Amino acid sequence: MAAPPAGAPASAPAGSAGRTAHDVCAIVVAHESRRWLEPALASLFAHAGPVDLDVIVVDNGSDGSAEFAAERFPAARGIHCANRGFAHANNRALEEADARYVLFLNPDTEVLDGTLADLVAHLDSHPEIGLAGCRQLDAEGRLCPTARRFPSVARAWGEALGPERFRFARRLGESELDLSRYEDELPCDWTAGSFMLVRREALAAAGPLDERFFFYSEEVDLCLRIKRAGWQIHHLPQLTIAHYGGTTEASPRMEAQMAYARSQYAAKHFGPLRRRAFVAAIALRHGLRWAAFSRSRPDRAAAHRQALLTLLGRATPPFG
C-alpha cells in the first residue's frame, strides 16, 4: 500500500475496515456553489437506480450548502470544513464514507442519462477496474474529451502546439480527441475529476487525495497512484452528465492555479530535468495563447498571461 502523502490523512475510507453500509457514497464539495446543488442532487437521486446511495455535501466555506442539502434532500447529509482546498474537503468526507464505491462529483453537474446502478453493475462484474469516469457534456451539450493520458514532457510540448486544432497532431496531447471513442468503454490513464467512481479497495491501496494540491491535478495524481497499485481506469458510456462550469479560460486566477498545479505534479513525479522541460512546455503554451488572444479575446489573453507569470515566479500562485 502506498504511503499517504504529506498533509493527507493516513487513514483509508472508513469502510475499508470491512463496514460497508451503502453501495455508493457520493461526495459533493460545495464552495460558493449552493445554486448548483438543487439540479445536481435531484438528478443524482433520480438516476441512482437500485443501489443504496449515501450523499455527503461538504460546505467548503460558509454559504449554507450543507444545511440546504440536508433540508432539501433527507437522504443527504452535510458537513463543514475550513477551505483548505478541494482535496482536503473531499478527504474530510472520505473519512465518513462507508460504501463499496466512492463517487467524487462536482456540484455544477447534472445526471442526464443512465443510472449509477448501471456503473456499479459493470464494476462489480469487472473487478480489475479501480476507477471509472462517464460521458460528460458541456453547458452547450457538446461532448467533452474527458479520457486522458498521463502528463509527460512530450505531451506537454504537444499540448503547447494545440493538438485540438490539427487532426494529424491529435495524439500529441493528453486528451483522447476522437469523440467517437466515447460511445464505447475506453481504457485510459486518468479521467476528469468532475465525476470519478472509485472502488473502495482501490482507494485503500492508493491512499486518499494529496492535499498539497489545493485545486487541479489532484485527480491526475490519484489516478496515477491507483494505476501503480495495479488497478485499471476506464471511461464508461453507460451514464451521461452535464458539467456546466468546466471552463476556466476566461479566469486569470483559475488558469494560473491550473498551471501551478501542473508544476506541482511535475515536482512530485518527475526528476529535475524532466520537471524543467515540462514546465517550459506549459509556459510556452500560455505564452503562445497570450499572444494569439491579445487582440481578439483580451479576457483569455489576461488568463494566459497570469498563468505564464505564475510559472515564471513573477506572480504568487492563487492558492499557494
pLDDT of 156 higher than 60: yes
Cα 81 to the chain's mean position, in Å? Answer: 20
Residues comprising the chain, all counted? 320
Contacts 24+ apart (CB under 8 A), 288-293: 288/160, 288/162
Residue range 14-149+188-243 forms a domain whose CATH class is alpha beta
DSSP line for 203-241: HHHH-S--TT-SSSSHHHHHHHHHHHTT-EEEEEEEEEE
pLDDT of 217 higher than 60: yes
Cα–Cα distance for residue pair 157/141, rounded to 1 Å: 29
Which residues are CB-neighbours of 258 under 8 A, at least 6 positions away?
Answer: 216, 217, 248, 307
pLDDT of residue 160: 87
Lowest mean pLDDT across 7-16, 187-196, 307-316: 7-16
In the chain, what percentage of residues exceed pLDDT 90?
A: 81
Question: How does residue 320 score in pLDDT terms, banded at 50, 70 and 90?
Answer: low
Cα–Cα distance for residue pair 315/306, rounded to 1 Å: 7
Q: How confident is the model over 157-165, as a mean pLDDT?
A: 75
In the chain, what percentage of residues exceed pLDDT 70?
A: 89
* CA 153-214-229 angle, 5° bins: 60
pLDDT of residue 164: 57
pLDDT of 308 higher than 90: yes
Torsion angle, alpha carbons of 320, 86, 237, 135, to 10 = -60
Average pLDDT, the chain: 90
Give the domain ranges of the chain. 14-149+188-243, 252-311
Question: How does residue 301 score in pLDDT terms, banded at 50, 70 and 90?
Answer: very high
Q: How confident is the model over 34-47, as a mean pLDDT?
A: 95
Query: What are the pLDDT digits (tens) for 186-198?
Result: 999 999 999 999 9
pTM over 0.75: yes
Pairing of strands 99-105, 195-199: antiparallel
Residue 140 is given by DSSP the state T
Which residues are CB-neighbours of 313 under 8 A, at least 6 positions away?
Answer: none
pLDDT of 22 higher than 80: yes
Query: What are the pLDDT digits (tens) for 233-276?
Result: 999 999 999 999 765 456 899 999 999 999 999 999 999 999 99
